[in-house]
Amino acid sequence: SFFILYGVFSFSGGMGGPAWQDMVAKVIPLKKRGHFFGWSNFLGGGAGIVAAFLSIYLLKSFSFPRNFALCFLFAFAATSVSYGAFVLIREPASPARGEGSGFKEYLFSLPSLLRKDRNFFSFLISSILFGFGGMATAFFAVYAMNKLVLPDSQIGVFTFLLLLGQSTSSILWGYLGNKKGYKLVMELGTIATILAILLAIFSSSVYPFYGVFFIIGMAFSAYFISFLGIVMEFSAPETRPTYIALANTVRAPFMSLSPLLGGFLADKFSFPFVFTLTIFILLGGILYSVFLVQEPRHLPPHEFDRYLARKPT
């Protein structure tokens, strides 16, 4: 039953994600989205640090299954409060949309979208390459624990530093996204990931690994803020939900499977081999992004909304 409920939770999040992102794009002006994403991620990271200490206390103070039940209860309460604030938002009125095509025709129109919008297609390719960073980052803790024979308590320290790096860098990434565009933020986040991987490869004590997790927290924050922000700028408001859903759907399988691929290769070869391979893939993603992806903010308004309104022949 746990996996069924978790599947329902994940499926519901996937359905609600495009609607939430589209609503944010309507409510938050373009020039303020970076500040919004930065501060919300900063405050969310701070709350995550507090929640991490609370969960440690609950897990140590109560026996199974009460300890996990209390963690889930607090998570439910916090989520309920967020939904209470969510219902107070007043979404601006949108222009009336013409009668759309059926769901089957809508699905068949998506390949045409990618063929027509080459810049968006190139962005999806680069984001897929960036998603392979999970081949390495998912195993930083395992690699450090095995290489240095560390106590289990170090996992908590690593998690704290990751959250700290994630929250403290969010305001910087939001500011850069506002000023320079989210494409640059995504590329800088990838460079930070490469630096973290290199530091992990050459670390011979626990202290450099503290830097690894702080830097990778910064990279996670950069990915989160830049991906949310840049997808909103690729399309006209009429087709924005389609762009958001397509970007999330295309990227998700690669992000989910990259840790599995990393684990398989680590068993066959070694963690340093996986880390080195990941660096080359990420470098390829950076080069692809720099030379083949244009910052959508600097391009003319997108015209695909009129094309999408026509039924495919």
Q: Give the separation between CA 128 and CA 261, rounded to whole angstroms.
A: 14
Return the structure tokens found at 286: 């950076």
Structural domains present in the chain: 2-91+116-304 (1.20.1250.20)
Please compute the mean of the pLDDT values over residues 113-122 and round it to a whole number: 90
Instruction: Read off the pLDDT band of 101 (50, 70, 90).
Output: low
Q: How much is the pLDDT for 70?
A: 93
Query: pLDDT at position 56, please?
Result: 82
Q: What is the pLDDT, as a whole number, of residue 115?
A: 87
Give the pLDDT score at 302: 54
Count of CB atoms situated within 10 Å of the CB of 64: 8
> Confidence band (pLDDT; 50, 70, 90) for 305?
very low
Residue 3: pLDDT band with limits 50, 70, 90: confident
Q: What is d(CA 43, CA 56) in angstroms, rounded to the nearest whole number?
A: 20
Query: How many beta carbons lie within 10 A of that of residue 124, not counting itself?
Result: 18
Least confident of 95-99, 148-152, 285-289: 95-99
In total, the chain counts a number of residues equal to: 313
Q: What is the structure's pLDDT at 307?
A: 40
Mean pLDDT of the 88-109 span: 72
Average pLDDT of the segment spanning 260-276: 96
Identify the burial level of 90 via C-beta atoms within 10 angstroms of its C-beta, where 0-12 means exposed, 13-18 middle and 19 or more buried: exposed
Q: What is the DSSP letter of 233?
A: T
Which two three-digit tokens encode residue 44?
Answer: 């969310």
Of the pLDDT bands very low, low, confident and very high (cuts 50, 70, 90), residue 300 is low
Instruction: Please state which of the ranges 47-51, 76-80, 83-87, 99-103 shows the lowest mean pLDDT.
Output: 99-103
**Residue 153 clears pLDDT 90, i.e. is over it:** no
Mapped to the 3 state alphabet, what secondary structure does 151-179 carry? CCCHHHHHHHHHHHHHHHHHHHHHHHHHH
- 116 burial via Cβ count (<10 Å: 0-12, 13-18, 19+): middle
pLDDT over 50 at 167, yes or no: yes
Q: How many Å apart are CA 14 and CA 9, to the nearest integer?
A: 9
Rounded to 10 degrees, the C-alpha dihedral 50/53/56/58 comes to: -60
Using alpha carbons, select from 78, 75, 196 the residue that is nearest to residue 143: 196
* pLDDT computed for residue 96 by the predictor: 57
Q: What does each C-alpha distance from 45 to 36, 79, 281 come to in angstroms?
A: 14, 15, 28
So what's the pLDDT on residue 312? 44
Average pLDDT value over all residues in the chain: 87
Following DSSP, what letter does each residue of 171-230 receive, concatenated? HHHHHHHHHH-HHHHHHHHHHHHHHHHHHHHH--SHHHHHHHHHHHHHHHHHHHHHHHHH
For residues 185-200, give the mean pLDDT. Answer: 98
